[in-house]
Amino acid sequence: MTTALITNDDGIDSPGLVALAQAAVRSGLEVIVAAPASQSSGSSASIMAQHDDGRIHFEERAIDGLPDSRCYAVEAAPALIALLAAHGAFTTTPELVLSGINRGANAGRAILHSGTVGAALTAGVNDARGLAVSLDVGIDPDELHWETAAALVEQVVPVVLAQQVGAVVNLNVPNLARVPELREAHLSEFGIVQTTITEPFEGDLRLAVADPGESVDPESDTALLRAGYATLTSITSVGWTPLRQRE
């Protein structure tokens, strides 16, 4: 049986984490849950943690809906949790890391900053496969359809397991009651929003976000997600490429 680590960046108490773990169980995976004890959004592949004499604290938790799975709250960012798991910190080394279900989309090149994606990328460089899952909930949703994203996870897990070791896949799902059509997509230049700097003052700056507008490539993850499709994108983990020679 394939062992899967379930983590996220929204923290151990997120309902999206439970929905993802339950989907993994239904997919026939042996599930270990280890997630940040507190919110870690935007942590990318950070290995920050709360240390005490060099020790990283974690505690076992009982989570409703996961009676047969070992669950741990860890005082660390999700990428560090994935790294610790790769070294056997939670007993069994995972062959697959499932990260999410994130509250909010992770699309375009902005995924660089996502803790959800950072955990999946960390899996990819540690001899496992990674799947990051996000639900595009918008600003103020009336309802969160975790079950829709979970249903697509069950479809996608066999696809991810069929890839070579080191593969990392990013799944974004519209916040719909029905299961949408799944499309393979490439990363858009920005993402759902574009970060800009406004109102520079002496000694401080203010960040703002802006809609990237209608110029988004229609085959990109951002455009297809806006059009109501779920998107699946194979992303590249850390690697290298030769430098161009000077003329």
Which residue has 């990328």 as its token pair?
121
- Give the orientation angle of helix 115-124 with respect to helix 78-86, to 10 degrees: 20
pLDDT tens-place string over residues 16-41: 999 999 999 999 999 999 999 988 88
Domain range spanning residue 58?
Answer: 3-187+218-235
CATH number of residue 57's parent domain: 3.40.1210.10
| pLDDT surpassing 80 at residue 228 | yes
Domain assignment present for residue 203? The answer is no
| pLDDT surpassing 90 at residue 42 | no
Domain assignment present for residue 208? The answer is no
What is the distance between the alpha carbons of residues 247 and 89, in angstroms, rounded to a whole number? 50
Domain assignment present for residue 197? The answer is no
- Give me the number of domains the chain comprises: 1
Domain assignment present for residue 207? The answer is no
CB 103 within 8 A of CB 137: yes
CB 128 within 8 A of CB 96: yes
What is the distance between the alpha carbons of residues 68 and 151, in angstroms, rounded to a whole number? 20
* Residue bearing the bigger pLDDT, 27 or 191: 27
Radius of gyration of the chain (CA): 18
Rounded alpha-carbon distances, angstroms, from residue 161 to 122, 131, 132: 16, 10, 14
Helix (H) or strand (E) run with residue 19 in it: helix 15-26
- What is the pTM for the complete model shown? 0.90
- Report the pLDDT averaged over residues 52-73: 91
CB 199 within 8 A of CB 82: no
pLDDT tens-place string over residues 209-227: 555 555 578 999 999 999 9
pLDDT tens-place string over residues 107-155: 999 999 999 999 999 999 999 999 999 999 988 888 999 999 999 999 9
pLDDT of residue 215: 59
Domain assignment present for residue 97? The answer is yes
